[in-house]
């Protein structure tokens, strides 16, 4: 048996390598400064995602010399830097930056002794996501996924003496490990059927195998269902969503934010890679029972309905945002089941816009929690009077989540629905997508109800509010970053849209 | 091969059952390991009997073992926290947050 | 260029107002008033210039763009006006300024109020000039947010309910519009969101999809109008909103629905329109009669005016259903303008009374005519205008609508709708009688003061315009004849 | 001067604007200004009339386009023909008299200036209505007349009855306008124009189907029914007496109510194309005339008697016009058109005089009730004398003006037996109730000494108009005597000039009938040789019916107003509850749904979890100590759903059979488990407690 070392392309992995080293450096920095530096660790940690982010942005804008050969495949095609990878890395790194920025409050007050670990684990988790984004086959994908999740288990339970936090950690851990077991079991079926873990290869093999041996369908079916469950956990897609509200509520707010954006984006990448890429052949009603499209569509409907409906009755803003993020996952999945030149592009733009809005909203929640210790929606009453900037920016984030133009959230929803309709108008067999769109638009209206509730409390009350918000610099920066994101990319979205336009091609959905 | 696949399925089912019914968190952890191992067996069996021209399945299994170990470490640490906070490791404790 | 300024000057003004210190009330008020004067005079100038230079043809004038805004989605920045948007711009410019003037009494959170108001104005202007679907939708939605806050923060006792109801209702409608826009986009070849090309090409989709799109658009716009049975947000919103916002709601927002029908819904789906026009007329007639009857039963002055809006917009719907008749469509335009003027003024006047009496209950008043003669005179003038008295704009529009609809629609239906004229007289006169005539309660209302100069200034232009249009409507017809003929020819495809 | 005839309506408008905006604070100046303006209009009207006569009645027309859309033109313009010219003179004459009279009548009123402003506005509307050259414009002024009558009737709005009356007047006439409006639509649609002359050309050309013509004519007539207070819309006019008396005079004599008759006369070319429509007009006129006259017999309010008299006389005119249309349609000659318009012209003067006289009386005694008057003739000689001249005139006594016009109406009805008898009966009743009024007011002993003592003759500016009008009441009719070859009939006519011939038999009959009425009144109320009370008792039912005005108000209240109001409040309730309820219901449902989800979480979810434990305990004793927490339920949920999807997918595609039995079975099993577990929920806890106790 030949055993040759695959090609070794360190350039492809430069940002990841930097992240790894920097994460370790953050650990050590905290140690060597004897855990005395309050904010310095945080600023230090910010460099971790910021440098790779700039690197990738420079590469994409052509500012990086061609000789750096960042894009393309490496490590025996196991590691692949295409637009998808780079775009999602931007999302992950952006989410990490915003999460770190909004963590300054809790690192100052609550986790006095473990700042380095906190930031380091966050960076490790981001690193996992970056690997995930670049992975081109199941093994890397799995490793990336685990590298993402395991630090998050720890982070969720980071308030060691806070029962809620520990409970969140336990729940997240058990359900996470459980779902990754399901995922693995499903993957083993895929491997068994196709004999490969390479996703592109699998796409071809599967079709061939399936044509010759129809009776393997049961295994395939089991594999698909298990994989949907495994990745659905990451996405908090109903019915695999129940951990999300509990975990969001219990864990530190920046971590909840990071979970809701980073982890979700990671799940999206994984989902896209496994299904859109690897299992593309099994899509569409005529592929039943192995069709994953309708199944995911059904889950999307469930997500939109359950998320938006249950959110209405929440009294804790973090739980509310958790349900809202469940619903948002539903909207994203609409784009996921559109296998044409619009589908994955809309998913990518959606998660990008969602990152700013949701991270911003959580950042606002974190600011509020740092100052008052409360996450109850009731306590936001009358805030517009004392803290107009806070109230306006939180409102804008929420409005972006509803999808009110000209904020980025609107364009995101627009793109998702547009994708579904573009397919439905062309392909008669895809007319079920109209139903997805129908449920989507209707639940979007429902969603206004609970988002507006927060605005109502902040603005409409004429009572004197109990709290007044003061901002730390990093937290304010995160707020402004989020605001800038939803406003700028709502109005001037062209560069991002241009970028995401090539993403469907990465999944082999069309040839540019 | 069918034997191995069945073994894996049984293992998986036992693990699943354990996860669902154990009150002891450590027990759950162990059941999770069973489920991971079911996947391992599958990978290796497929590699051996169906796709013999490569080692991907076995490699995969190795990685799973590693990751499972890491997961177990983190899991045990969290269980420790559970114990610290409640002086017990029953899953009953962790149902404060609901609806 | 000037069209962009209509939108961006208020936006700029909003930013300026936000930068002003919070407690400088007068600075904020006067700044926003001065800012709003710019789009107002711009819209006046536009009307003037359009009348003399462009009104002969149906082509869009003062076109801005199309510039590529988001090229990967074929979204353009494209603005232009024609004979149906010019009167609406005029109305918007005028009413915005007057409502700002009428808002000087706001003492609570002044800065936010005026900032939201200017944002609202920008959105309204944008709707009437946008020629790109996406742009149109953006402006359409942008208005909702300030409106939500304006009702919710500065409204009456049930403001929160009214605000969320308004928001939900209109969002519900516009989300249908979004779907329809997307369907239009993907069925057109090449994919386009440009209203002008879509208008020229006509629908390029199957009959079913045409019906679906038509109904979706119709629901979106009908909620705004509001057409019975989508009208229930209106009384709540109107009643709870502060005076100036009610003026804007009645004067401009409701018109957006009919304007959009005339701009988008009607000419783009002529076939579906013809199949459904009878039912649209039925809805219109129901709204006329129903709105009038419900008005009659009202005890609250503002609610009465609010329901009268339902009735009056019913005339518009009936006119719009008479697709083949230029005079009916022109009557609809007239009705839009005159309802904006009249109901706007009525809301201002109700607000004036409420500011002094702190109640709007009709039964609480009586015989005010002797105590506040000037106020009474103005109120009676507008009541008469509202009930369609000749010499006022309302009459011209109703007459044109009826004559046009009578020729184009089912005669029995129109005959029933004519009853609305009597019912309209009944509820308006009942109101006048109970508030201004009869015995005067000296003990309770002895301290009532008459309308002051600022308030007179804020309704005087409306009164003048109501009478001028009523006496000499010809310029207004000339303004839009060419456009309307073009539209009718499009609808006849 | 005819070219400037458009100024005639504008002069009063000018005075209205001036008074409202500038002169309001100078009372006398306002009055003088408006009087000067109406006098100027009067002079102009007379010149226009002379010029029209000089032109031998040729039309003069001028207009501008008000709305100019393709296929849709609305005009504003002036049409001067003999009918217009006569009406202008009538309106301005009566208007001028009323305004001069009002200076005295309204002095000391707090809204003195405004009264003149309203009067001016009213005259503007009426004059505009008269000069209009098309149906659209006449409708505009028609409505404006309605508005100003609203303002004038409700002038003393502090009185509730006045406020009610003005509303009633406006709304009732608007009901008629509704029909008029529909008539206009028909004209607009089928004739394509509103211009009188063109409409009449088209109507006469035979291009329009007869049904349409009939419909158009009847709907147009609806307007006249409302404004001229014809049955069944006559109810507003008597109530309108709540306004100041000069207003009543103006409204009843020359303007608002005359507008209806004027409209019918003006549209006569339309009516003559439809015999049916004309017959309807005639019948309505007769019914109105009869009902009103009969009610007038027993009323005690001086102004109400006059009001019913007006309604009755208007019915007379309408009937004459209708009969003319009918006869003309059937190719017969008839004096109806001439009679109707002529009576409109003479009636304006003597009815104006009657009202002003009544006003003078009321001014003196401060009551409207004739039962409280009596003997006033001794104190108010001028008033009494002029009033009696007018009464003679309305009773149709030779040679006063009423005689000549009324006689022509009788002549017009003479070919139709029913109408002939009707007209005579009505003439008799008219004479009777007018003289009943005279006798009760001016003769006999004062029945209320206190009021009598304070009574006095009115000032000169009130009596001069009386005298002026009295002269006209006597002489105005002479322009129409049959002996003249170029009299009224040869000037105002339709189709071809009509030359009346003296018909002595009819003259005799009508004089006898009129005289009979007067004599009966004389016997009953002056001589008292026939007891009025006895008569009332004898015909008690009829008396009550008449006294209560045939119960029209009550009937309308019951069958129209009450139902509409209850529908309105029902609609409001409907709106508030049902439609809104549906919307709120959706919101409510959403929240309930959320609640159900909560409930589901509480009961089913926990139940399933517990149930699993329970099943396990029951099934296999080994696992009895296992009790899942909610975290594990999440895992269970995932697992269950995975299985569910798997089964379903597998079943629907790979197995035969249409129904997903296994899936359903699976779901049912889970639900049953959940329910069972919930039912047995207490068990495990007690078990555990029991264990620990042991």
Closest CA to B35 of A226, C151, C238, D214: A226
Section C295-310 average pLDDT: 84
Quote the pLDDT of residue D625: 29
Quote the pLDDT of residue B5: 85
**Distance (Å) from the alpha carbon of A111 to chain C's nearest alpha carbon:** 38
pLDDT band for position C204 (50/70/90)?
confident
Query: Per the domain annotation, does A377 fall within a domain?
Result: yes
Q: What is the average pLDDT score of chain C?
A: 87
The H-or-E segment that residue C2 falls in is helix C2-19
Rounded distance, CA D635 to CA C272, Å?
A: 52
pLDDT band for position D692 (50/70/90)?
very low
| D178·C422 Cβ contact <8 A | yes
Q: Are residues C311 and C348 in the same domain?
A: yes
- Asked if the C-beta of D598 comes within 8 angstroms of chain B's C-beta atoms, the answer is yes
Quote the pLDDT of residue D608: 44
> In the structure, do chain B and chain C come into contact, i.e. share 3 or more CB pairs under 8 Å?
no
In chain A, pLDDT over 90 holds for what percent of residues?
29
Peptide bond into C173 cis (omega under 30): no
| A462·C160 Cβ contact <8 A | no
First to last CA, chain A: 39
* pLDDT tens-digit readout, C214-253: 999 999 999 888 887 777 788 888 888 888 899 998 889 9
Query: Per the domain annotation, does A3 fall within a domain?
Result: no
Gyration radius from chain D CA atoms: 39
Section A9-13 average pLDDT: 79
pLDDT band for position C127 (50/70/90)?
very high
**Distance (Å) from the alpha carbon of D565 to chain B's nearest alpha carbon:** 51
- Asked if the C-beta of A92 comes within 8 angstroms of chain B's C-beta atoms, the answer is no
- For residue D631, the chain A residues in CB contact (below 8 A) are 170-171, 174-175
Which of C293, C425, C438 is closest, CB to CB, to D170? C425
A16 neighbors A46 (Cβ within 8 angstroms): no
- For residue A396, the chain C residues in CB contact (below 8 A) are none
Q: Name the residue ranges covered by the structural domains of chain B.
A: 2-97
Quote the pLDDT of residue D176: 83
pLDDT band for position D616 (50/70/90)?
very low
Greatest mean pLDDT among A195-204, A332-341, D404-413: A332-341
Q: Are residues C302 and C255 in the same domain?
A: no
**Distance (Å) from the alpha carbon of A497 to chain C's nearest alpha carbon:** 7
- For residue D140, the chain C residues in CB contact (below 8 A) are 390-391, 395
- Say if residue A414's pLDDT is above 50: yes
In chain D, pLDDT over 90 holds for what percent of residues?
0
- For residue A295, the chain D residues in CB contact (below 8 A) are 645, 649
* pLDDT tens-digit readout, D401-426: 888 888 888 888 888 888 888 888 88
Quote the pLDDT of residue D612: 39
Rounded distance, CA A95 to CA A263, Å?
A: 10
| A166·B78 Cβ contact <8 A | yes
- For residue A444, the chain C residues in CB contact (below 8 A) are 171, 175
Query: Per the domain annotation, does A249 fall within a domain?
Result: no
Closest CA to D126 of D318, D257, D268: D257
Torsion-angle region of residue C175: left (phi > 0), alpha (psi -120 to 50) or beta? alpha
pLDDT band for position D618 (50/70/90)?
very low
- Say if residue A7's pLDDT is above 80: no
Which of A139, A171, A182 is closest, CB to CB, to B94? A171
**Distance (Å) from the alpha carbon of A250 to chain B's nearest alpha carbon:** 8
- For residue A171, the chain B residues in CB contact (below 8 A) are 94
Query: Which residues, in sequence order, are CB contacts of D542 under 8 Å at separation 6+?
Result: none
Peptide bond into D183 cis (omega under 30): no
- Say if residue A1's pLDDT is above 70: no
- Asked if the C-beta of D602 comes within 8 angstroms of chain A's C-beta atoms, the answer is no
**Distance (Å) from the alpha carbon of D576 to chain A's nearest alpha carbon:** 22
Query: Per the domain annotation, does A419 fall within a domain?
Result: yes
- For residue A161, the chain B residues in CB contact (below 8 A) are 84-85
CATH classification (class only), B2-97 = mainly alpha
Rounded distance, CA A292 to CA A288, Å?
A: 8
Query: Per the domain annotation, does A124 fall within a domain?
Result: no
Q: How many domains does chain C have?
A: 2
D617 neighbors D623 (Cβ within 8 angstroms): yes
Give the chain A residue whose CA is nearest to the CA of C74: A494
In this prediction the pTM is 0.85
- For residue D583, the chain C residues in CB contact (below 8 A) are 165, 169, 232
- Asked if the C-beta of B79 comes within 8 angstroms of chain D's C-beta atoms, the answer is no
Give the chain C residue whose CA is nearest to the CA of A404: C141
- For residue A309, the chain D residues in CB contact (below 8 A) are 590, 593-594, 597
* pLDDT tens-digit readout, C59-116: 888 888 788 888 888 888 999 998 889 999 999 999 999 999 888 888 888 888 999 9
- Say if residue A207's pLDDT is above 90: no
Tell which A residues from 146 to 175 touch B, by Cβ distance under 8 Å: 146, 150, 153-154, 157, 160-161, 163-164, 166-171, 173-174
Section A220-249 average pLDDT: 85
Quote the pLDDT of residue D617: 37
ipTM above 0.90, yes or no: no
| B94·A170 Cβ contact <8 A | yes
**Distance (Å) from the alpha carbon of A459 to chain C's nearest alpha carbon:** 6
**Residues of the domain holding A305:** 291-512
Which of B23, B93, B99 is closest, CB to CB, to D627? B23
| B39·A188 Cβ contact <8 A | yes
Tell which A residues from 185 to 224 touch B, by Cβ distance under 8 Å: 185, 187-189, 191-192, 195-197
- Asked if the C-beta of B13 comes within 8 angstroms of chain D's C-beta atoms, the answer is no
| A497·C179 Cβ contact <8 A | no
Q: Token digits for A233?
A: 């956990």
Quote the pLDDT of residue D147: 82
DSSP C250: I
* pLDDT tens-digit readout, A366-376: 999 888 888 88
Q: Are residues C307 and C388 in the same domain?
A: yes
Q: Token digits for D363?
A: 């001014």
D99 neighbors D465 (Cβ within 8 angstroms): no
| D638·A179 Cβ contact <8 A | yes
**DSSP states of C155-188:** --TTHHHHHHHHHHHHHHHHHHHHHHHHHHHHHS
Q: Using the structure block, give the residue that is written with the tokens 């109107």.
A: C238
**Distance (Å) from the alpha carbon of A422 to chain C's nearest alpha carbon:** 6
Length of chain A: 512
In chain D, pLDDT over 70 holds for what percent of residues?
82
Q: Token digits for D28?
A: 């006398």
Quote the pLDDT of residue A125: 94
| A417·C179 Cβ contact <8 A | yes
3-state secondary structure D283-346: HHHHHHHHHHHHHHCCCCEHHHHHHHHHHHHHHHHHHHHHHHHHHHHCCCCCCHHHHHHHHHHH
Q: What is the average pLDDT score of chain A?
A: 86
**Residues of the domain holding C25:** 1-268
Least confident of A182-186, D173-177, D634-638: D634-638
- Say if residue D621's pLDDT is above 70: no
Q: How many domains does chain A have?
A: 1
Q: Are residues C260 and C275 in the same domain?
A: no
- Say if residue D685's pLDDT is above 50: no
Q: Are residues C214 and C337 in the same domain?
A: no
Q: Are residues C348 and C264 in the same domain?
A: no
CA distances from D398 to D73, D499, D511 (A): 50, 20, 7
Rounded distance, CA D344 to CA C296, Å?
A: 38
Section D374-383 average pLDDT: 77
* pLDDT tens-digit readout, B26-39: 888 899 999 999 99
Q: Are residues C377 and C326 in the same domain?
A: yes
Section A233-245 average pLDDT: 84
Q: What is the average pLDDT score of chain D?
A: 77
- For residue C229, the chain D residues in CB contact (below 8 A) are 579
C225 neighbors C73 (Cβ within 8 angstroms): no
Quote the pLDDT of residue D622: 30
**Cα torsion C458, C145, C174, C186: sign:** positive
> Of C217, C248, C268, which one is at a domain's C-terminal end?
C268
- Asked if the C-beta of D632 comes within 8 angstroms of chain B's C-beta atoms, the answer is yes
Tell which D residues from 167 to 196 touch A, by Cβ distance under 8 Å: none
Tell which A residues from 229 to 258 touch B, by Cβ distance under 8 Å: 245-246, 249-250
Closest CA to C186 of D144, D672, A417: A417
Helix (H, G, I), strand (E, B) or coil at B13: helix
Quote the pLDDT of residue A330: 92
Cβ pairs bridging A and D (under 8 Å):
70
Section D454-473 average pLDDT: 80
Closest CA to A500 of A316, A342, A285: A342
Q: Are residues C408 and C359 in the same domain?
A: yes
> In the structure, do chain D and chain C come into contact, i.e. share 3 or more CB pairs under 8 Å?
yes
Q: Are residues C197 and C300 in the same domain?
A: no
First to last CA, chain C: 33
Q: Token digits for D365?
A: 């005694």
H helices within D154-188, ranges in order?
A: 160-186
Q: Are residues C152 and C257 in the same domain?
A: yes
* pLDDT tens-digit readout, C437-463: 777 777 777 778 888 888 888 888 999
Quote the pLDDT of residue D374: 73
Quote the pLDDT of residue A2: 55
Chains that touch A (3 or more CB pairs under 8 A): B, C, D
Section A183-200 average pLDDT: 87
Closest CA to D272 of D223, D336, D229, D316: D336
Rounded distance, CA C320 to CA C335, Å?
A: 11
- For residue C231, the chain D residues in CB contact (below 8 A) are 579
| C163·A456 Cβ contact <8 A | yes
pLDDT band for position D607 (50/70/90)?
very low
Quote the pLDDT of residue D653: 62
- Say if residue A211's pLDDT is above 80: no
| D597·A217 Cβ contact <8 A | no
**Distance (Å) from the alpha carbon of D652 to chain B's nearest alpha carbon:** 23
Rounded distance, CA D530 to CA D441, Å?
A: 18
Quote the pLDDT of residue A355: 93
Rounded distance, CA C258 to CA C92, Å?
A: 14
Q: Are residues C256 and C329 in the same domain?
A: no
Rounded distance, CA A477 to CA A252, Å?
A: 19
Torsion of CA C327, C328, C330, C336, to 10 degrees: 160
| C112·A384 Cβ contact <8 A | yes
- Say if residue D562's pLDDT is above 80: no
Query: Per the domain annotation, does A417 fall within a domain?
Result: yes
| C481·D70 Cβ contact <8 A | yes
Quote the pLDDT of residue D655: 57
> Of C245, C268, C291, which one is at a domain's C-terminal end?
C268
- Asked if the C-beta of A208 comes within 8 angstroms of chain C's C-beta atoms, the answer is no
Least confident of D148-152, D237-241, D684-688: D684-688
B63 neighbors A143 (Cβ within 8 angstroms): yes
Closest CA to A154 of A16, A261, A244, A259: A259
| B74·A154 Cβ contact <8 A | yes
Q: Using the structure block, give the residue that is written with the tokens 């899936």.
A: D663
Rounded distance, CA D572 to CA D458, Å?
A: 53
Rounded distance, CA C268 to CA A433, Å?
A: 25
């Amino acid at each position: 048996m030949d055993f040759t070392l695959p090609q070794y392309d360190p350039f492809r992995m430069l940002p990841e390598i930097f992240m790894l080293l920097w994460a370790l450096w953050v650990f050590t920095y905290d140690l060597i400064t004897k855990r005395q530096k309050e904010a310095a660790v945080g600023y230090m940690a910010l460099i971790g995602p910021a440098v790779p982010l700039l690197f990738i942005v420079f590469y994409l804008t052509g500012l990086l010399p061609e000789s750096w050969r960042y894009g393309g495949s490496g490590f025996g095609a196991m590691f692949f830097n295409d637009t998808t990878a780079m775009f999602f890395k931007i999302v992950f790194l952006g989410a990490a930056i915003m999460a770190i920025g909004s963590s300054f409050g809790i690192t100052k007050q609550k986790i006095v002794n473990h700042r380095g670990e906190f930031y380091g684990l966050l960076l490790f988790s981001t690193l996992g996501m970056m690997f995930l984004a670049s992975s081109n086959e199941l093994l890397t994908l799995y490793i990336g996924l685990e590298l993402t999740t395991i630090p998050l288990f720890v982070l969720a339970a980071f308030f060691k003496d806070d029962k809620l936090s520990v409970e969140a950690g336990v729940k997240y851990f058990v359900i996470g490990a459980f779902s990754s077991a399901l995922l693995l079991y499903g993957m083993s079926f895929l491997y068994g059927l196709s004999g490969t873990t390479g996703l592109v290869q699998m796409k071809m093999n599967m079709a061939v195998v399936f044509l010759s041996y129809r009776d393997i369908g049961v295994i395939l079916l089991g594999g698909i269902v298990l994989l949907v469950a495994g990745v659905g956990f990451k996405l908090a897609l109903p019915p695999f969503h129940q951990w999300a509200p509990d975990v969001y509520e219990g864990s530190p707010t920046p971590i909840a934010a990071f979970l809701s954006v980073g982890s979700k984006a990671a799940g999206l990448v994984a989902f896209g890679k496994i299904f859109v890429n690897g299992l593309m052949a099994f899509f569409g009603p005529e592929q039943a029972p192995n069709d994953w499209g309708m199944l995911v569509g059904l889950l999307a409907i469930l997500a939109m309905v359950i998320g938006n409906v249950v959110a209405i009755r929440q009294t804790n803003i973090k739980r509310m945002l958790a349900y809202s993020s469940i619903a948002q996952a539903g909207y994203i999945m609409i784009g996921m089941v559109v296998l044409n030149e619009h589908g994955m592009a809309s998913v990518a733009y959606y998660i990008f816009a969602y990152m700013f809005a949701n991270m911003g909203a959580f950042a606002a929640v974190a600011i509020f929690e740092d100052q008052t210790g409360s996450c109850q929606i009731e306590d936001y009453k009358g805030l517009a009077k004392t803290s107009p900037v806070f109230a306006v920016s939180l409102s804008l984030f929420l409005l972006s989540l509803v999808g009110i133009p000209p904020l980025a959230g609107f364009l995101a929803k627009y793109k998702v629905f547009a994708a579904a309709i573009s397919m439905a108008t062309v392909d008669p067999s895809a007319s079920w997508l109209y139903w997805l769109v129908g449920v989507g638009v209707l639940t979007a209206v429902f969603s206004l109800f609970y988002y507006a509730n927060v605005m109502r409390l902040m603005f409409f009350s004429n009572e004197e509010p109990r709290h007044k918000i003061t901002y730390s610099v990093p937290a304010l920066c995160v707020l402004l970053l989020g605001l800038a994101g939803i406003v700028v990319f709502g109005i001037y979205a062209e560069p991002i849209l241009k970028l995401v336009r090539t993403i469907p091609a990465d999944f082999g959905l069309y040839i540019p | 091969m069918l034997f191995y696949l069945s073994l894996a399925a049984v293992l998986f089912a036992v693990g699943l059952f354990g996860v669902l019914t154990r009150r002891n968190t450590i027990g759950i952890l162990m059941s999770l390991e069973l489920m991971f191992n079911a996947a391992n067996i599958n990978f290796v069996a497929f590699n051996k009997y169906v796709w013999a021209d490569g080692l991907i399945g076995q490699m995969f299994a190795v990685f799973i073992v590693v990751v499972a170990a890491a997961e177990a470490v983190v899991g045990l640490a969290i269980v420790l926290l559970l114990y610290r906070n409640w002086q017990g490791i029953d899953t009953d404790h962790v149902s404060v947050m609901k609806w | 260029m000037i069209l962009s300024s209509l939108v961006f000057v208020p936006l700029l003004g909003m930013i300026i107002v936000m930068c002003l210190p919070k407690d400088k009330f007068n600075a904020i008020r006067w700044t926003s008033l001065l800012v709003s004067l710019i789009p107002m005079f711009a819209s006046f100038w536009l009307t003037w210039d359009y009348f003399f230079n462009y009104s002969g043809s149906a082509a869009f004038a003062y076109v801005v763009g199309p510039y590529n805004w988001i090229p990967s989605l074929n979204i353009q920045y494209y603005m232009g006006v024609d004979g149906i948007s010019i009167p609406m711009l005029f109305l918007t410019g005028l009413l915005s300024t007057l409502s700002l003037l009428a808002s000087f009494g706001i003492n609570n959170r002044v800065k936010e109020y005026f900032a939201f108001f200017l944002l609202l104005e920008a959105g309204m202007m944008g709707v009437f000039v946008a020629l790109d679907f996406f742009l149109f939708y953006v402006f359409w939605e942008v208005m909702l947010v300030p409106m939500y806050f304006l009702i919710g923060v500065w409204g009456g006792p049930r403001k929160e309910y009214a605000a969320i109801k308004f928001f939900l209702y209109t969002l519900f409608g516009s989300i249908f519009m979004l779907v329809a826009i997307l369907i239009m986009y993907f069925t057109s070849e090449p994919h386009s969101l440009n209203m002008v090309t879509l208008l020229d090409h006509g629908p390029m989709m199957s009959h079913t999809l045409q019906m679906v799109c038509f109904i979706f658009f119709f629901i979106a716009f009908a909620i705004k109008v509001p057409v019975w049975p989508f009208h229930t947000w209106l009384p709540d919103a109107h009643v709870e909103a502060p005076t100036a916002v009610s003026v804007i709601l009645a004067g401009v927002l409701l018109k957006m629905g009919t304007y959009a029908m005339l701009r988008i819904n009607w000419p783009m789906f002529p076939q579906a329109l013809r199949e459904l026009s009878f039912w649209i007329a039925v809805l219109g007639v129901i709204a006329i009669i129903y709105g009038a009857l419900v008005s009659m039963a009202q005890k609250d002055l503002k609610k009465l005016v609010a329901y009268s809006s339902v009735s009056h917009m019913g005339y518009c719907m009936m006119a719009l259903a008479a697709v083949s008749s230029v005079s009916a469509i022109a009557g609809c335009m007239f009705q839009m303008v005159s309802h904006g003027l009249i109901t706007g003024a009525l809301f201002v006047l109700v607000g004036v009374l409420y500011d002094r009496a702190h109640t709007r209950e009709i039964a609480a008043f009586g015989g005010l005519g002797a105590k506040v003669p000037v106020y009474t005179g103005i109120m009676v003038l507008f009541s008469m205008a509202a009930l369609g008295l000749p010499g006022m704009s309302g009459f011209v529009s109703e007459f044109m609508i009826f004559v046009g609809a009578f020729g184009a629609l089912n005669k029995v239906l129109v005959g029933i709708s004519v009853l609305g004229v009597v019912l309209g007289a009944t509820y308006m006169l009942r109101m006048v009688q109970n508030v201004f005539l009869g015995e005067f309660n000296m003990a309770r209302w002895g301290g009532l003061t008459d309308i002051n100069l600022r308030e007179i200034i804020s309704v005087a232009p409306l009164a003048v315009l109501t009478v001028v249009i009523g006496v000499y409507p010809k310029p207004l017809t000339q303004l839009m004849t060419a456009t309307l003929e073009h539209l009718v020819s499009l609808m006849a495809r | 001067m005819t070219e400037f005839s458009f100024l005639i309506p504008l002069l009063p408008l000018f005075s209205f604007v001036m008074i409202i905006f500038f002169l309001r604070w100078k009372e006398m100046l306002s009055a003088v200004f408006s009087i000067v303006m109406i006098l100027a209009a009067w002079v102009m009207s007379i010149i226009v009339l002379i010029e029209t006569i000089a032109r031998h009645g040729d039309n003069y027309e001028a207009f501008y386009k008000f709305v100019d859309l393709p296929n849709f033109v609305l005009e504003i313009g002036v049409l001067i023909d003999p009918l217009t010219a006569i009406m202008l003179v009538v309106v301005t004459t009566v208007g001028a008299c009323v305004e001069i009279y009002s200076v005295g009548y309204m002095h000391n009123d707090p809204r003195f200036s405004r009264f003149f402003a309203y009067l001016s506005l009213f005259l503007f509307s009426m004059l505009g209505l008269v000069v209009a050259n098309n149906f659209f414009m006449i409708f505009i002024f028609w409505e404006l007349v309605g508005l100003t009558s609203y303002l004038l009737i409700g002038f003393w709005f502090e009185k509730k009855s006045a406020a009610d009356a003005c509303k009633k007047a406006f709304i009732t006439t608007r009901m008629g306008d509704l029909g008029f409006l529909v008539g206009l639509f028909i004209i607009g649609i089928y004739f394509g124009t509103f211009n009188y002359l063109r409409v009449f050309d088209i109507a006469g050309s035979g291009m329009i189907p007869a049904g349409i013509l009939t419909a158009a004519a009847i709907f147009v007539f609806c307007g006249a029914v409302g404004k001229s207070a014809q049955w069944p819309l006559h109810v507003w006019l008597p109530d309108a007496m709540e306004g100041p008396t000069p207003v009543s005079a103006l409204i009843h004599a020359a303007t608002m109510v005359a507008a209806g008759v004027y409209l019918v006369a003006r549209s006569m070319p339309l009516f003559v194309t439809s015999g049916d429509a004309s017959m309807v007009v005639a019948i309505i006129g007769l019914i109105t005339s009869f009902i009103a006259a009969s009610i007038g017999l027993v009323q005690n309010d001086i102004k109400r008697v006059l009001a019913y008299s007006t309604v009755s006389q208007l019915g007379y005119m309408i009937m004459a016009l209708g009969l003319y249309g009918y006869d003309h349609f059937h190719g017969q000659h008839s004096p109806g058109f001439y009679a109707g318009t002529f009576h409109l012209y003479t009636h304006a003067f003597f009815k104006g005089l009657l009202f002003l006289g009544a006003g003078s009386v009321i001014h003196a005694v401060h009551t409207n009730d004739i039962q409280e008057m009596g003997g006033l003739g001794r104190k108010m000689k001028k008033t009494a004398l002029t009033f009696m001249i007018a009464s003679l005139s309305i009773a149709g006594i030779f040679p006063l003006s009423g005689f000549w016009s009324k006689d022509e109406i009788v002549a017009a009805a003479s070919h139709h037996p029913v109408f002939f008898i009707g007209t005579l009966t009505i003439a008799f009743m008219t004479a009777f109730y007018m003289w009943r009024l005279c006798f009760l007011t001016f003769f006999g002993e004062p029945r209320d000494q206190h009021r009598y003592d304070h009574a006095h003759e009115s000032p000169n500016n009130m009596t001069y108009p009386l005298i002026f009008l009295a002269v006209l009441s006597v002489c105005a009719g002479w322009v129409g005597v049959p002996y003249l070859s170029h009299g009224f009939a040869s000037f105002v006519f339709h189709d071809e000039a009509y030359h009346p011939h003296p018909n002595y038999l009819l003259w005799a009959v009508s004089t006898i009938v009129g005289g009979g009425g007067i004599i009966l009144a004389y016997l009953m109320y002056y001589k008292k040789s026939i007891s009025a009370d006895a008569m009332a008792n004898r015909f008690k039912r009829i008396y009550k019916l008449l006294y209560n005005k045939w119960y029209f108000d009550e009937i309308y209240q019951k069958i129209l107003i009450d139902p509409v109001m209850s529908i309105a409040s029902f609609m409001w309730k409907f709106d508030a509850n049902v439609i809104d309820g549906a919307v709120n219901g959706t919101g409510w449902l959403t929240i309930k749904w959320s609640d159900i989800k909560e409930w589901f979480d509480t009961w089913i979810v926990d139940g399933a979890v517990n149930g699993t434990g329970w099943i396990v305990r029951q099934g296999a004793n080994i696992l009895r100590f296992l009790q899942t927490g909610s975290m594990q339920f999440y895992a269970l949920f995932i697992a269950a759903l995975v299985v569910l999807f798997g089964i379903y997918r597998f079943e629907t595609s790979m197995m035969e059979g249409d129904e997903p039995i296994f899936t359903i079975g699976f779901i049912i099993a889970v639900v049953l488990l959940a329910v069972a577990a919930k039912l047995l929920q207490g068990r495990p806890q007690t078990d555990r407690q029991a264990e620990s106790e042991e």
